[in-house]
Amino acid sequence: MSALVDSLGSPFFQRALLESVLVGAVTGVVGVHVLLRRLPFFVVAMSHATFPGVVLASVAGVSLFVGGWAFGLLVALLVAALGANRALDETSAVGVVLAGSFALGVLVISARPDASRDLSAFLVGSVLTVTRADIVTTAVTGGVLLVVLGALHKELVLGAFDPGGAAAAGYRTGMLDALVLVVVTFALVTAVPAVGTLLAVALLTVPALTARLWAERVGPTMALAAATGAASGVVGLCLSSVLDIAAGGAIALTCTAALGASLLLRRR
C-alpha cells in the first residue's frame, strides 16, 4: 500500500487518475448506444481503423487526437456510405476496414525507430504519461459528446429500438445512424491515451453490459455505465500501482471483473 500512497502524491498519477475517470464515464455512456445498436463489432473495427490515424499523427508531430479523429471520422462515414448504398453488407464493410486500416498502421510504424515501444503505447495506452492538454481535450470532447447524446436522446433511442417507426415519424434514420458512428469513433479516440486503441473496446462495451444487468431503462443504464466505467478506471489504476502492472490492462480487466461479479450476483 505504500506504493499506492506514494503514487497518489505524484502529479503524474493524479493526472492519470483524472483522465481515467473522465474516459471511463464518457465511454460508459456512449457504450449504451453501442449495445442498443448492436455495434460491438464496429467498435472492434474502429479500434483498428483509428490506429493508422494515431500513428500518422505521431509521425507528423501533431496531436494524436487530431489524427485519430480525422482518420476515424473518414472510416466511419465510409462504412455508413457503403451500408447505405448496399455496396457491401455492413459486416463485410467493417471487416474490410478493420484489416486494411490496421495493416496500414503497422506498415507506417514499422519504419520508425523504437517501433516496438511506440506500437505498445498506441495499442494498450500509457495513461501515466497523459498531459494537462490531454485531460482538457478529453473533458471538452466528452462534454460535447454527452451534450449531443442528450439533445438527441429520444430520436437516437427510437431509431435503435424501432428504425421503421423512426422513419415513419419523419426522422432521417441514415443521419442518426451516421451520427452514432461518429460519436462512437470520437469516444474511442479519446480513450487512446489511457488504454490504447485495442483496450478501448473494453471501456465501450463492458461497463454498459454490466449496467444493463441492473437497470431496465435507458437513462439509469447510462448513469450506471458511467459510474462503472469511472470506478473501473480508478480501481484499475490503483491496482496497477500496487501490483506494478500495466495500467491499461488493469483497467480493462477491472471492467471485466465487474461484469463477472454482476453475472454471479444476478444468478444468486
Task: Write out pLDDT tens, residues 203-220.
Answer: 999 999 999 999 989 999
Q: Which of 52-66, 140-154, 167-181 has the lowest mean pLDDT?
A: 52-66
User: What does the pLDDT read at residue 59?
Assistant: 73
Reported as a pLDDT band with limits 50, 70 and 90, residue 82 is: low
Classify domain 2-267 by CATH architecture. Answer: Orthogonal Bundle (1.10)
Q: 117-162 pLDDT, tens per residue?
A: 555 666 677 788 888 888 998 999 999 999 999 999 999 998 888 8
> Which whole number is the average pLDDT over 15-21?
92
User: What does the pLDDT read at residue 112?
Assistant: 63
Cα 249 from chain centre? 14
> Which whole number is the average pLDDT over 47-73?
75
Could you give the CA distance from residue 213 to residue 56 in angstroms, rounded to a whole number?
40
Q: 100-112 pLDDT, tens per residue?
A: 776 777 777 666 6
Reported as a pLDDT band with limits 50, 70 and 90, residue 27 is: very high
| Number of residues that make up the chain | 268
User: What does the pLDDT read at residue 210?
Assistant: 95
CA angle 263, 248, 27 (to 5 degrees): 65
Q: Does residue 231 carry a pLDDT above 90? A: yes
User: What does the pLDDT read at residue 71?
Assistant: 78
**Nearest one of 195, 225, 209 to 20, comparing CA atoms:** 195
Q: Does residue 12 carry a pLDDT above 70? A: yes
Task: Identify how many contiguous H helices and E strands the chain contains and give both numbers.
Answer: 15, 0
Please compute, for residue 37, the number of CA atoms within 13 A of its CA located in the half-sphere on the CB side.
26
User: What does the pLDDT read at residue 42?
Assistant: 76
Query: Is 36:217 a contact under the CB 8 Å cutoff?
Result: no
Q: Does residue 185 carry a pLDDT above 80? A: yes
The segment with the largest mean pLDDT, out of 16-25, 73-82, 83-92, is 16-25
> Which whole number is the average pLDDT over 163-190?
84
User: What does the pLDDT read at residue 139?
Assistant: 94
> Which whole number is the average pLDDT over 42-69?
75
SS in 3 state form for 111-136? CCCCHHHHHHHHHHCCHHHCCHHHHH
Reported as a pLDDT band with limits 50, 70 and 90, residue 232 is: very high
Entry pTM:
0.83
Could you give the CA distance from residue 178 to residue 90 in angstroms, rounded to a whole number?
13
Could you give the CA distance from residue 86 to residue 237 in angstroms, rounded to a whole number?
44
Reported as a pLDDT band with limits 50, 70 and 90, residue 263 is: very high
**Nearest one of 195, 208, 192, 190 to 236, comparing CA atoms:** 195
Q: Which long-range contacts (CB under 8 A, 24 or more apart) does 211-218 make?
A: 211/28, 211/32, 212/32, 212/35, 213/259, 213/262, 213/263, 213/266, 214/262, 218/32, 218/36, 218/153, 218/157
Higher-confidence residue of 6 and 167: namely 167
> Which whole number is the average pLDDT over 245-259?
90
Query: What residue spans define the domains of the chain?
Result: 2-267
Query: Is 196:123 a contact under the CB 8 Å cutoff?
Result: yes
